[in-house]
Amino acid sequence: MTNRDPKIEKIETLLDRFGNLAVESFHYIALFIIGCMVIWSAGHTVFEILTVKQFATIDDILLLFIYLELGAMVGIYFKTNHMPVRFLIYIAITALTRLLISDIQHDHQADMDLVIITGSILILGFAILVVRYASWTFPSVIRDKHSEKPLPEGKTPRPQDDELA
C-alpha cells in the first residue's frame, strides 16, 4: 500500500463530485427535453385531429398511446431512476400494430409483410412474458438515487402493480 498525498485525494474527490454532478445534470436536462418533446408532439397530434381531420382514426389513437407510454416512461425514470424495459416493448408492439393496421387499410391484401409483422408482435408479447416472469422470480429493489436505502413500500412498484392503469 502506498501513502497518497492528501491534496491529490482531495482534488480527485472534488473532480469525482464535479463529474457526477455534470453527468446527472446532463441526464436530467436531456430527460426534460425528451419529456417536453413528447408533450409537444402529442399536443400537435391532438390539435391536428381536432382542427384538420375533425375525427380520430385508429392510427391517430395508437399514436396517442405511443405518446402516453413514452410520457409514462419518462415520468417513471424521473421518479425512480429506473427504466422499465417493458414500456419499450409496449411501445414497439403499439408501433407494429399501427403499421399493421396502416398496411391493411392501404393494401387490402394479405402478403408476407402481414405475417412478419404479426410474428414480430407475437415475439414481443413473449418477451413481455419473459421479462414479467424474471421480475417476479428475481425482484429488484428500487433504491432512492441519493442514498443506499430502499424506497418505502408505496414507492416501490411490485411486478404486478407497475402496469399503466
* pLDDT for position 148: 58
Q: Which 3-state string (H, E, C) describes the chain?
A: CCCCCHHHHHHHHHHHHHHHHHHHHHHHHHHHHHHHHHHHHHHHHHHHHHHHHCCCCHHHHHHHHHHHHHHHHHHHHHHHCCCCHHHHHHHHHHHHHHHHHHHHHHHCCCCHHHHHHHHHHHHHHHHHHHHHHHHHHCCCCCECCCCCCECCHHHCCCCCCCCCC
Does residue 41 belong to any structural domain of this protein?
yes
Does residue 160 belong to any structural domain of this protein?
no
pLDDT category of residue 159 using cuts at 50, 70 and 90: very low
Domain of residue 151 covers 6-155
Q: How many domains would you assign to the chain? A: 1
Mean pLDDT is highest, among 29-38, 68-77, 144-153, for 29-38
Instruction: Please provide the average confidence, as pLDDT, over all residues in the chain.
Output: 83
Cα of 50 vs its chain's centroid, Å: 27
Does residue 163 belong to any structural domain of this protein?
no
Does residue 45 belong to any structural domain of this protein?
yes
Does residue 161 belong to any structural domain of this protein?
no
